[in-house]
Structure formats: C-alpha cells, structure tokens
Amino acid sequence: MCGIVGYLGNQSSKDILLDGLKELEYRGYDSAGITVLKDSNFSIYKSVGKLNNLVEKSKNLSVDGFSVGIGHTRWATHGKPTESNAHPHIGEATHIVHNGIIENYQELKKELIAKGYRFSSQTDTEVIVHLFEENLKSSKDTFSAFNKTIFQLDGAYALLLIKKDEPEKIYFAKEGSPLILGTNRETGEQFFASSDSPLIGHVAEVIYLQDGEFGYVDGKNINLFNGAGDEVEQVYKKLPENREIAQKDGYRFFMEKEIYEQSQVVSDTIMGRALDSSIEFDEIDPTIFDGINEIKLCACGTSYHTALASSYLFERISKTRVSVEFGSEFRYKDPLLTKDTLFVSISQSGETADTLASLKMAKNAGLKTLAICNVDNSSIVRLSDYSILTRAGVEKGVASTKAFATQMVVLYMLSLYVAQIRNNIEKERLQKELHTIREIPNTLTVTSKLHEKIKRLSKRYLHGHGFFFIGRDIFYPLALEGALKLKEISYLHSEGYPAGEMKHGPIALADPELFTIALLPQNILYEKTKSNIEELGARDSTICVISPKSFELADDFIRTSSHSHYMLEFFEMMVVVQLLSMEVAIRLQNDVDMPRNLAKSVTVE
C-alpha cells in the first residue's frame, strides 16, 4: 500500500524523507518520489522500483537550513507503475502526495480538461492538484481553496500539499486513509507519516488525525480543523518505541493485522466500482464478454477457493456457465479450449507458476483473458488482455486473508457486472445486491467481543485426530478456505467438506476427537445444513457451530450477526474461521506469519 511522509524544519528534509520512506518499504511499493521546497524552489525526484533508485537520482541535492518536503511510495491502483504516475503530482505551483482513492476523479478530470488543464499521469491523485489550483483562482486565500478542494473529493485520502509561494507551510487532510502528525516542540519541526515507524526517533508523541480533519502547519503552529470547519483540540498519544511493533501497528502478527485491515481494503476495492445503481470496471472493456458462453476460473490455493465460491455467484446471478480449475491440474489435462470461453486467472501475487502456465496455454489457444490480481505489473497482469486489481495492499502473512476477501468482493461485483451488461438482472435485484456490497465492510470489522470469544474457545481445539469444516452452497468453498487456513498455520489435519456429503463416507470418522466446524448461515439452506450437523452430533463428533441462530446440540457456539443476505453472512463467517485458525496456531506457539514448508509466492511448479 502507498506510504506518505512529510517534513518541515531545519534538518535536511531530503534525508528525513528518504529515511521515512525506507521505514515504509515493508508495505510494498512499485515507485517512489520526493519534493523538497526551499526558498520557493521545488526540487522533485521520482523513480520506478526500489528506493535506492530514488536515492541515486537525488544524490546531488543537498539541503541546508529550513525547508519543507513531501514524499511517497506508490502501490499502483490507477495507472501503471511509471515515473509519470509516481507522486508527488504537480500543478503550476503546487505539489501533492496522496494515499487512498478519489472515487469521483473521472468527473472532476473531465471538468478540468474542459477548462484547459493538462494531465500528465493516469492517476486519480492528479485531479486534486489541478482542482486546487482552479479553486485558488476564486478563493480569498490558499486555505479557503484547500478547504473547498477537499470538500469536492469523494473517496478516501490522506494528503499533503505544498505551494511554491508559501515555502514554510504544509497543508494536510485526512479521510479514510491514515495520517499521523508529530511535532518536536523544542525545535519546531513537524513530521507527517502514514504509519508510526517513520516518526519513531524524531518525536515522542503524535496526533493520530481523525477522518474529516484537515489544516496546515507552519513551524510555529498546528492549525487543525474538523469536517465542520471548527478548530479542534490537539490530542497527543505516545508513539511505540519499537519499529517492528510499529510496522505491525501493535498486532502480534502480520496475519492478525491483515485480518483487521479487511474492512478497509474491501472498502477500497469497492470504491468507484459499486456505484449507486450499477457496477463499473473502468479497466475492462465490456465487449470482452461478447460471444462468451463460458467463464473458466483458474487459480491455486486460497485463490482457487475464491474461484470456486464465485462460481456459485456467476451461475446464480449472471446466468453464465462457469468452470473452475486448479492451475496445477489444468495445465496437464489436455483441456478442450474454445474461443467462446473467457479465461480468468485469479492470483494474489500474480506470479504463481501453475496459474501463469495455465494462462499461457489459454492465450496460445486464442482465448480472451482477464486477471484478478493484487499486484500490478506482475507476470499474470502483464500477460492478460485485461486485469482488475484487488486493492488489498501488500499481504505479508503467508496465510492469505485480506487477499481472499478482496478477490471475493471483486468476483461478486464481476458476476453482477456480467448480469448487468447481459440484461440478466432486474433493477430491484441489482439494487439489493449493490446495497449488500456496500454493507460488506461493516461485516468485516472485528469486534473485541468476537475476538476474545474466539481466543478463549481456541484452547479446546489444539489436538484431536482431525477437523472437518463443513458448509453448503457458497459456504462449502468457505469451509475449504477455513480448513486450509487452519492446516497451514496450526499443522493440524483439517479438511473442508460439503455438509451434505459427510454421510457418503467421512461420517465414519465421527467420534469425540473429530472436531467439526460447521458454517450455518440463516439465509441459504438453513434447515438442510442443520440436519447435516445433527447427523454428525448424533455420532458424537465434537461440534462448533458458527451461526446467527442458536443451536442447542452444539458443543461450542459462535454467534454471528443476523443479516438479510447470505453474502454478508459469508464475509462475517470468513473472519471467524480466520481468527479461529490464527488463535489455535498462536496457542500452539507456531510462527503464524511464516509457517513451516510454505512460501508466500510459489513461483515453481
């Protein structure tokens, strides 16, 4: 995910910015840039790839005395990782860095182009700087223009802006993306960053800016306002002292942090795509679906589970035939490929060898190809005709969590998109689904009550001769994913199974040492799944039921919220199985982020 740093003071701002960006490297990025403003002169440097390239490019700049500066590491979302798309973005006399996504950037861009503004990047960010300069023409001062600009932006942002004729100020605003402000009261230096680690060692206390807050610093004062334009109290909090803890934002493991991030990254993934009355994907051409009779979804591991789960949605919602393939199987099965098939590869990394090889086969057979991927410019993205990026940010935990959530929401939206362009969905149904999509981030918020309950319960699931995660319909692939999560980090044997299939064999294993984790949603096949669970209970399997409805015969019970749509239940139960797997693994003292024998990106077959 992108990172921001800012500095105002007498030390070399170049060095402070580059050191700060180094601290944000762990978040992942594909380009970086800085601007230093000293005595009304801008010095700007941008580079693609590693930060060392930026260090090399800016090596001749030396900064003595007072200056201000802003810096950024970019994780591409709108536009490729190129120098022109890297931040800072520039206007006539203004430079800006931005994290987040501006949802209404296309409308704003159109208006600005009509007024004669020229754009040099494909990013959403560039509209902010031109919009600000346009507003400046009709505003009494810079602050009013800045204020007006941020009120015209829809979406998420943490942004820093500096202006040539005000070389002692940094303007800032925060909505939806993190931004932290630190002050050294003795020296008057001001520091900004999008997470704690760049600030450690410079300041002891910081202000964690709240959504809607904005203002400017000028070396003497912090001028901080809320969304209503009223000055607000500056609340300081102590910074953590340890950088490793800072990178994990206080969480015990990256996996835990990533589970907690899901609500935010799913919001980012939806933004600008699930609109008021339609689904839009600017990055694909709708004609890609012309003449298509089948969608073939191909992936490995967790990504395979999103493929399988979404196959239920594609057939149910968009009435389009779907087949699902493991990359490692597909490539050797001499598949029959016809040009009326759209080949969709799903991958977090975009580098998984088997998925990539399968994609190459599909391309060679002349199929149209689409990638659902988290990493722009990865091999799978580069090779595909079109790609839709999930916006999960860097996922460090080997056990995939937020990548699964964002893939799932993209595929859910894609199934609606296909239905929409094929006129296979009624207006009312589409509205209901859009409403559901907008609700998903709420279901992903982890409450301390839920987490504590799962932590306590996990101590009962540290042994046994096996786990069965069971579910029906789209909850079956979720059961597969729950079982994969548990086995890869706890090293306990676990399987995912369709609940209705247990009686065809696996029920022979049932005894008190067989743990069944049952997914029992209320909105789909409730009675049928309930009966399947009862059959296992009658054979004395130890059962943990996850459901919004009480289940008297369960040994353990995790209550989920009552939702009106099964997809909301799906996402809430996904968080439950992720947390349960993680808490079991933590109790077993395993390295949750780097489980034995596994690699994050499987680039060999």
Distance CA 342, CA 311 (A): 13
Q: Name the segment binding ligand M6R (CB under 6 A); options: 184-192, 286-294, 345-353, 531-539.
A: 345-353
Under the binding rule (CB under 6 A), the answer on residue 349 touching ligand M6R is yes
Strand segments, DSSP code E, in 490-554 are: 494-498, 514-519, 542-547
- Out of 85, 320, 348, 369, the residue judged to bind ligand M6R by CB under 6 A: 348
295 in Cβ contact with 303 (< 8 Å): no
Of 208 and 386, the one with the shorter C-beta distance to ligand M6R is 386
Of 133 and 351, the one with the shorter C-beta distance to ligand M6R is 351
Provide the minimum distance between the beta carbon of 227 and ligand M6R in the complex, in angstroms, as a whole number.
38
Q: Which residues pair with 493 in a beta bridge?
A: none
CA quadruple 174, 178, 184, 188: dihedral positive or negative? negative
- Out of 86, 265, 371, 399, the residue judged to bind ligand M6R by CB under 6 A: 399
* Phi, psi for residue 22 in degrees, rounded to 5: -60, -40
Q: Name the segment binding ligand M6R (CB under 6 A); options: 159-167, 290-298, 332-340, 343-351.
A: 343-351
Provide the minimum distance between the beta carbon of 388 and ligand M6R in the complex, in angstroms, as a whole number.
14
- Out of 51, 179, 520, 602, the residue judged to bind ligand M6R by CB under 6 A: 602
Of 85 and 400, the one with the shorter C-beta distance to ligand M6R is 400
Q: Say how many C-beta atoms besides its own lie within 10 A of residue 40's C-beta.
A: 11
Would residue 298 show up in a list of annotated catalytic residues for this protein?
A: no
Of 582 and 602, the one with the shorter C-beta distance to ligand M6R is 602
Under the binding rule (CB under 6 A), the answer on residue 398 touching ligand M6R is yes
- What residues from 83 to 142 belong to the interface with ligand M6R (CB under 6 A)? none
* Phi, psi for residue 108 in degrees, rounded to 5: -60, -40
- What residues from 482 to 501 belong to the interface with ligand M6R (CB under 6 A)? 484, 488
Distance CA 569, CA 583 (A): 21
Gap between the terminal Cα atoms of the chain: 28
Could you please report the per-residue DSSP string of 385-453? SEEEE-------SSS-SHHHHHHHHHHHHHHHHHHHHTT-S-HHHHHHHHHHHHHHHHHTPPPHHHHHH
Under the binding rule (CB under 6 A), the answer on residue 581 touching ligand M6R is no
Helix (H) or strand (E) holding 537: helix 526-538
What is the size of the binding site for ligand M6R (CB under 6 A)?
A: 17
Q: In the structure encoding, which two tokens stand for residue 329, read together?
A: 């199987």
Residue nearest to ligand M6R (CB): 301
347 in Cβ contact with 290 (< 8 Å): no
Under the binding rule (CB under 6 A), the answer on residue 436 touching ligand M6R is no
Q: Name the segment binding ligand M6R (CB under 6 A); options: 25-33, 393-401, 444-452, 516-524.
A: 393-401
Of 345, 340, 349, the closest CA to residue 369 belongs to 345
> Which 8-state DSSP code applies to residue 189?
E
Of 123 and 311, the one with the shorter C-beta distance to ligand M6R is 311
Q: Say how many C-beta atoms besides its own lie within 10 A of residue 245's C-beta.
A: 15
Compute CA distances 219 → 24, 167, 185, 239, whole Å. Answer: 24, 11, 10, 21
- What residues from 506 to 535 belong to the interface with ligand M6R (CB under 6 A)? none
Q: Name the segment binding ligand M6R (CB under 6 A); options: 260-268, 283-291, 348-356, 361-369.
A: 348-356
- Out of 12, 77, 355, 532, the residue judged to bind ligand M6R by CB under 6 A: 355
Of 326, 553, 576, the closest CA to residue 446 belongs to 576
Under the binding rule (CB under 6 A), the answer on residue 328 touching ligand M6R is no
Look at the block and give the residue holding tokens 């007498």.
Answer: 10
Cα atoms found within 13 Å of the Cα of residue 140, Cβ hemisphere only: 1
Of 6 and 301, the one with the shorter C-beta distance to ligand M6R is 301
Provide the minimum distance between the beta carbon of 307 and ligand M6R in the complex, in angstroms, as a whole number.
10
Provide the minimum distance between the beta carbon of 490 and ligand M6R in the complex, in angstroms, as a whole number.
13
Percent helix, strand and coil across the chain, each to the nearest 5: 40, 25, 40
Of 352 and 387, the one with the shorter C-beta distance to ligand M6R is 352
Strand pairing of 222-225 and 205-208?
unpaired
Of 355 and 358, the one with the shorter C-beta distance to ligand M6R is 355
76 in Cβ contact with 82 (< 8 Å): no
CA quadruple 423, 426, 429, 430: dihedral positive or negative? positive
Distance CA 66, CA 81 (A): 32
Could you please report the per-residue DSSP string of 48-102? ESSHHHHHHHTTT----SSEEEEEEEE--SSS-S-TTTSSPEE-SSEEEEEES-B
- Out of 47, 177, 347, 532, the residue judged to bind ligand M6R by CB under 6 A: 347
Q: Say how many C-beta atoms besides its own lie within 10 A of residue 57's C-beta.
A: 16
- Out of 190, 352, 387, 390, the residue judged to bind ligand M6R by CB under 6 A: 352
Provide the minimum distance between the beta carbon of 481 and ligand M6R in the complex, in angstroms, as a whole number.
8
- What residues from 288 to 327 belong to the interface with ligand M6R (CB under 6 A)? 300-303
Q: Name the segment binding ligand M6R (CB under 6 A); options: 96-104, 289-297, 344-352, 385-393.
A: 344-352
Would residue 2 show up in a list of annotated catalytic residues for this protein?
A: yes
Look at the chain and count its residues.
605
Instruction: Pick the catalytic residue from 360, 453, 549, 600.
Output: 600
Helix (H) or strand (E) holding 329: helix 327-330
Of 28 and 219, the one with the shorter C-beta distance to ligand M6R is 28
Q: Name the segment binding ligand M6R (CB under 6 A); options: 134-142, 164-172, 335-343, 349-357.
A: 349-357
Of 135 and 400, the one with the shorter C-beta distance to ligand M6R is 400
Q: Say how many C-beta atoms besides its own lie within 10 A of residue 486's C-beta.
A: 28
Q: Name the segment binding ligand M6R (CB under 6 A); options: 96-104, 189-197, 346-354, 461-469.
A: 346-354
Instruction: Pick the catalytic residue from 2, 298, 300, 544.
Output: 2
Of 48 and 486, the one with the shorter C-beta distance to ligand M6R is 486
Q: Name the segment binding ligand M6R (CB under 6 A); options: 165-173, 232-240, 432-440, 597-605.
A: 597-605
Provide the minimum distance between the beta carbon of 105 and ligand M6R in the complex, in angstroms, as a whole number.
28
Distance CA 33, CA 280 (A): 31
Catalytic residues: 2, 600
Contact set with ligand M6R (CB under 6 A): 300-303, 347-349, 352, 355, 398-400, 484, 488, 598, 601-602
